[in-house]
Amino acid sequence: MLAAGRAVADAARALAADTGQTILVVAGPGNNGGDAWVAARHLAEGFHRVTVLDAAGTPPKAPEAREARAAFEERGGRVVREWPALAPALVVDGLLGIGLARDVDPALHRIIERMNGSGAPVLAIDVPSGLDSATGRVRGIAVHATRTLTFIAQKVGLHTRDGPDCCGTITCDALGLGEAVAREAHGLLLTPATVAPWLAPRRRNSHKGDFGTLAVVGGNRGMVGAALLAARAGLLAGAGRVVVALLGPDAPAVDAAQPELMLRGVEDALAADVIVAGPGAGRSASATSPSIFERTTLPALVGRPASLVLDADALNAIAFDEGLQKAVAARKAATILTPHPAEAARLLGTKTAQVQDDRLAAALELARRFRAHVVLKGAGSICASPDGRWAVNATGNPALSTAGSGDVLAGMIGALLCQGLDAPRALQYAVCVHGAAADACVARGAGPVGLTASEVALEARAVINAWVAEGRAPAAMEE
């Protein structure tokens, strides 16, 4: 608590460098409030004008916090029980911490409303008050912080579901425990700095066969674009060759925009090193009369010893076919599932809202049930593996909320498998670079509104090459 409080004070000073500015520290009843009292003492000792809003109304529980409060008051520090009339220049949120198990009660709800409506920057201690740090769920109301200083390790809920909208800029102070925590962690935060070294530079003595053959199977009537987007993204992300098996009767013989793609039959797709199945494959009108894709093509693909990425309508077909579910779970080769929340709910036989209530648990259950590597897409996409390991992605933005974005991701995953990354790393690298490409597009003004999936695929090529060339994430991306 002493180290955490000192770190909070340092962060607050950086946000309010002028000692003449009033800093309002909101101290709650638990350890989060204890950190706030320690921070208030250090800020007062640094000659900042500090007011503490004591939301608990009772002496702090931790002895360090009681000592900090006494020292603060001895210096003439101001303690109030109601929101002060004078507008603060900075608010430090120490109201509620991790482990929030119920919705915020009415009295604290009003304080959070005042923090959000203050017009001042807000520094959240460990987690914005009202945000479930394990799931990213807002418990009735949550602080919208300018910056969140979290401790010891990153929390899943800061980076998924509503977390990215509540946290602002996130920094982590390990308080000297980082190495010990990392040794025991089952989870990973996906950043450009983390994943960039995984893909090695290509040898000069290389040929297309070194980078595999990727097949994309899908693109039924009216949905040819989905399969072509996946295939183009696979080519741009580095697959040596890309075969496209289009399922519709009106399928073109060539992709005029990307003539390097080989438009062939399903038989050719079966011989590929890696197969992406499902983009635009279509769904039958009735569960009792499955389409040819559902009845014969998909089972044949599942039965192949190639690495398999199951996306879109392939996932929907599996969700309603117990035989296919067993076949997927019995596969020996690598299997990757790429559901969005509604598809995940179908696969799990539950509701979309339940998936969103605990995205990590849903992703891990899908990985366990299907013995597959899974990405549960959405804000803070979560990757999970059958051994219980998981990762949450820190890149990306609302520009990815557009048609074809998932098709592009599926093609990129396939391409990285073709280039020799194992399934968990291929999945995590693709998810991270997919988001980083969208971030790069938005940074130069191409989005978030109106950014297309095709633009993301092109930008991903540039990002991958930058990462490979430098052997690390570019400095701007690390920030």
55 three-state secondary structure: coil
Distance (Å, whole) CA 51 – CA 348: 50
- Residue 306: what residue type? A
Query: What's the pLDDT score for residue 474?
Result: 42
HEC per residue, 140-198: CCCCCCCEEEEECCCCHHHHCCCHHHHHCEEEEECCCCHHHHHHHCCEEEECHHHHHHH
Distance (Å, whole) CA 330 – CA 377: 24
The predicted-structure confidence for 127-154, as pLDDT tens digits, reads as follows 999 999 999 999 999 999 999 999 999 9
- Exposed, middle or buried by CB within 10 Å (0-12, 13-18, 19+), for 411? buried
The predicted-structure confidence for 222-258, as pLDDT tens digits, reads as follows 999 999 999 999 999 999 999 999 998 889 999 999 9
Confidence of residue 183 (pLDDT cuts 50, 70, 90): confident
- Exposed, middle or buried by CB within 10 Å (0-12, 13-18, 19+), for 444? exposed
pTM: 0.93
Provide the token pair at 397.
């933005």
Give phi and psi for 134, each to the nearest 5: -90, -30
Q: Are 360 and 329 in contact (CB under 8 A)?
A: no
Query: What's the pLDDT score for residue 19?
Result: 66
Provide the token pair at 166.
């509540």
Query: What's the pLDDT score for residue 184?
Result: 74
Residue 144: how many other CB atoms lie within 10 Å? 18
Question: Is the pLDDT at 18 greater than 80, yes or no?
Answer: no
For 10-19, 22-31, 43-52, 348-357, which range has the lowest pLDDT when averaged over its residues? 10-19
Nearest in space to 156 (alpha carbons), one of 357, 427, 360: 360
Distance (Å, whole) CA 460 – CA 448: 16
**Percent of the chain whose pLDDT exceeds 90:** 87
Q: What residue ranges do the domains of the chain occupy?
A: 2-185, 195-474
Tell me which architecture the domain covering 195-474 has in CATH.
3-Layer(aba) Sandwich (3.40)
Cis peptide before 448 (omega within 30 of 0): yes
The predicted-structure confidence for 408-449, as pLDDT tens digits, reads as follows 999 999 999 999 999 999 999 999 999 999 999 999 999 999
- At CB < 8 A and 24+ separation, what contacts does 466-470 make? 467/192, 467/195, 467/196, 467/199, 467/433, 468/196, 468/199, 468/200, 468/201, 468/202, 469/201, 470/196
- Residue 330: what residue type? A
Q: What is the mean pLDDT of the chain?
A: 94
Provide the token pair at 401.
């909320």
Query: What's the pLDDT score for residue 285?
Result: 65
CATH fold, domain 2-185, is: Rossmann fold (3.40.50)
Neighbour-count burial for 168-192, b at 16+ CB within 10 Å, e otherwise: bebebbbbeeeeeeeeeeebbbbbb
Q: Report the DSSP pairing between strands 382-384 and 390-393.
A: antiparallel
Residue 83: how many other CB atoms lie within 10 Å? 17
| DSSP letter assigned to residue 265 | -
